[in-house]
């Protein structure tokens, strides 16, 4: 890579932007007016799917996530689309059989997903191989991920070794995923420089502005030769989200690697998202919008902070928020210094809440016990011996050392029969979504059968329009009513 080649920006506003700042509640309808504009700017990628969006679509928004992907891909065909995939866990918190992982990756690729950012919460590369191989088999880009965190065992040398392993198992690029905004500018420079020296594939940096360091870290990474960084668009940016795109352009102003994106169009996009943000006020919080250096101690990811505040409120524990945060590093160390990223951030957060509510280790969640037993993979450091002994006694099980998915039987055939018996078309899309979210998928299809669909898209029958209008006309179902619109009308 040329030292003066502009650094590229990947835009996250349609996924991590609202996951980190608005509990993943942005609807496809709210995205529609600006998708084509986002596509025209020239970002290296648009993050449009994955992470918590699949769960949110099904659980809260009454949307089929594959319909969302189809829609966004049709309206933004030029820019590569990217998604966040939890390795063997897909979009859930536990491991799935290899055939389910393979079927989901193939289906996502068929619907137009281009770049699969694949991570494992424990940085156990054994949990990435199946997904990486499936993505490559589908002819798509498999991005291996380093979950960045700070602990006595997470050293520069350890991260370089992990990056090398990712390249060896077939990753087409490597992403440094700094989910809690912990990476300092000096560490960003050193890690990027080292990875660029040791690898022959592109390197990407993803961070959050939670602690206030992300923009400076991006600048340092740019100096060190990073290929691309993740940015969003205000107000779904900064705070617990990614740095704002315009902000990063200002930070890099005058730098030989500063990219040239249309700033006027970015300002216009910001105005649209301001309206959306205001409409989502019950899911937003001023606490998520500000810089919080305390995150350097508790290391909680931005997306988790947004949702965690809501969850504690539901539990009547809003006043214990800081107590729970202080307990998180205690739980994390006991579970082998695991990074905090889905699902481990939720597992550690829940156990911290239980420790605060009932007393330390008085009540153990099943997922926390499963981490201790090695069912999620190899922990970066040994699990606390006393805790492991207690878990083994409570469960009557011994810790495992094999890959968790090796203990699972193939699942697609059984799942397909189950889905078919419920009157749902047993396509790979439906079956793999059902594997992850069975109740939600049933609900979606019951709503669909009843004509309750807030959003659907399909080619509309051509009437007397010009050829150009025919090619860009769609039928939309919004609020149960069908409308014909053109792409131009959606912009």
With 70 as the cut, is the pLDDT of residue 153 above it? yes
Q: What is the mean pLDDT of residues 319-332?
A: 91
Question: For residue 241, is pLDDT > 70?
Answer: yes
Q: Is the distance from CB of 13 to CB of 236 less than 8 angstroms?
A: yes
What is the DSSP code (8-state) at residue 454?
A: S
> Which sign, positive or negative, has the C-alpha torsion 137, 138, 139, 145?
negative
CA distances from 419 to 59, 72, 240, 412, 415 (A): 18, 27, 38, 10, 6
pLDDT grade, residue 294 (50/70/90)? confident
Using alpha carbons, select from 221, 254, 234 the residue that is nearest to residue 8: 221
Cα-to-chain-centroid distance, residue 169: 21
Which pLDDT score, from 0 to 100, does residue 130 have? Answer: 98
pLDDT at 465 (0 to 100): 37
Predicted local confidence at residue 26, as pLDDT:
96
Q: What is the pLDDT of residue 297?
A: 77
CA-CA distance, 398 to 387, in Å (whole number)?
Answer: 13
| pLDDT for the residue 308 | 75
pLDDT exceeds cutoff 50 at 481: no
pLDDT at 249 exceeding the cut of 70? yes
| Residues 112-122 pLDDT 10s | 999 999 999 99
Span 193-236, pLDDT tens digits: 999 999 999 999 999 999 999 999 999 999 999 999 999 999 99
Percent of the chain with pLDDT over 90: 78
Short-list 459, 426, 457, CA closest to 441? 426
Cβ-Cβ contacts under 8 Å for 324 (sequence gap 6 or more): 312, 317, 349, 352, 353, 356
CB 227 within 8 A of CB 203: yes
Beta carbons of 338 and 348 less than 8 angstroms apart = yes
Helix, coil or strand: residue 231:
strand
One DSSP character per residue, 365-396 reads -HHHHHHHTTSS---SSPPPHHHHHHHHHHH-
Q: Tell me what pLDDT residue 451 has.
A: 84
Q: Average pLDDT, whole number, for the chain?
A: 90
Average pLDDT for 326-346 = 91
Quote the pLDDT of residue 171. 98
pLDDT at 301 over 90: no
Rounded-to-integer distance, Cα 391 and Cα 397, Å: 8
Residues 154 and 340 sit within 8 Å (Cβ to Cβ): no
Bridge partners of residue 350, in order along the sequence: none
Domains of the chain: 8-283 (3.20.20.70), 290-406 (1.10.472.90), 456-491 (no CATH)
pTM of the model: 0.87
Q: Flag whether pLDDT at 485 surpasses 50.
A: no
Which parts of 290-365 fold into alpha helices (H)?
295-298, 302-314, 321-334, 344-358
Helix (H) or strand (E) holding 55: helix 53-59
For the chain, percent of residues with pLDDT exceeding 70: 90
338 vs 345: CA distance, rounded Å:
9
* 36 pLDDT above the threshold of 90: yes
Q: Residues 39-57: what's their mean pLDDT?
A: 97
User: What is the Cα–Cα distance from 360 to 481, expressed in whole angstroms?
Assistant: 53
Question: pLDDT digit string (tens) for 69-89?
Answer: 999 999 999 999 999 999 999
Identify the burial level of 330 via C-beta atoms within 10 angstroms of its C-beta, where 0-12 means exposed, 13-18 middle and 19 or more buried: middle
Q: Which residues in 248-290 belong to E strands, given as ranges? A: none
pLDDT tens for residues 425-472?
999 999 999 999 999 999 998 988 888 866 443 333 333 333 333 333
Check residue 280 and give its pLDDT: 94
What is residue 448's predicted lDDT score, i.e. its pLDDT? 85
Q: 355: which 2 tokens?
A: 């420790």
pLDDT range class, residue 345, cuts 50, 70, 90: confident
Residue 302, pLDDT score = 59
């Amino acid at each position: 890579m040329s030292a003066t080649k502009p650094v590229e920006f990947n835009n996250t506003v349609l996924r991590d932007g609202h996951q980190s700042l608005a509990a993943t509640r942005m609807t496809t309808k709210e995205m529609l007016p600006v998708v084509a504009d986002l596509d025209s700017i020239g970002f290296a990628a648009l993050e449009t799917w994955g992470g918590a969006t699949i769960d949110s679509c099904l659980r809260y928004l009454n949307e089929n996530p594959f319909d969302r992907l189809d829609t966004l891909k049709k309206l933004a065909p030029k820019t590569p689309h990217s998604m966040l995939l939890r390795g063997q866990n897909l979009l859930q918190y536990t491991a799935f059989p290899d055939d389910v992982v393979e079927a989901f990756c193939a289906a996502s690729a068929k619907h137009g997903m281009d770049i699969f950012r694949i991570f494992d919460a424990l940085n156990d590369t054994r949990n990435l191989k199946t997904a990486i191989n499936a993505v490559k088999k589908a002819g798509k880009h498999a991005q291996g991920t380093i979950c960045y965190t700070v602990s006595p065992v997470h050293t520069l040398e350890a991260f370089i070794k992990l990056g090398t392993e990712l390249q060896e198992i077939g990753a087409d690029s490597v992403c440094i995923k700094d989910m809690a905004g912990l990476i300092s500018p000096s560490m960003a420079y050193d890690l990027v420089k080292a990875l660029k020296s040791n690898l022959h594939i592109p390197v990407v940096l993803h961070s959050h502005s939670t602690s206030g360091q992300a923009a400076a870290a991006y600048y340092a990474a740019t100096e060190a030769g990073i290929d691309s960084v993740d940015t969003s668009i205000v107000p779904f940016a900064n705070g617990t989200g990614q740095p704002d795109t315009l902000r990063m352009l200002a930070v890099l102003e005058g730098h030989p690697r500063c990219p040239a994106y249309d700033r006027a169009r970015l300002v216009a996009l910001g105005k649209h998202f301001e309206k959306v943000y205001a409409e989502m006020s019950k899911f937003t919080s001023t606490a998520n919008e500000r810089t919080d250096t305390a995150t350097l101690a508790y290391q909680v990811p931005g997306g988790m902070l947004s949702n965690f505040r809501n969850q504690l409120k539901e539990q009547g524990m809003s006043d214990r928020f800081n107590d729970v945060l202080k307990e998180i590093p205690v739980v994390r160390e006991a579970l082998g210094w695991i990074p905090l990223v889905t699902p481990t951030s939720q597992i550690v957060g829940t156990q911290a809440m239980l420790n605060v509510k009932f007393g330390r280790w008085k009540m153990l969640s099943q997922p926390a016990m499963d981490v201790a037993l090695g069912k999620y993979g190899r922990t970066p450091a040994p699990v606390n011996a006393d805790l492991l002994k207690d878990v083994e006694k409570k469960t009557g099980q011994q810790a495992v050392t094999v890959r968790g998915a090796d203990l699972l039987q193939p699942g697609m055939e059984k799942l397909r029969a189950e889905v078919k018996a419920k009157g749902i078309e047993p396509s790979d899309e439906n079956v793999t979504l059902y594997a992850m979210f069975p109740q939600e998928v049933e609900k979606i299809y019951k709503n669909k059968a009843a004509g309750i669909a807030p959003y659907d898209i399909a080619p509309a029958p051509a009437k007397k329009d010009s050829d150009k209008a025919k090619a860009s006309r769609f039928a939309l179902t919004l609020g149960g009513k069908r409308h014909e619109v053109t792409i131009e009308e959606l912009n």
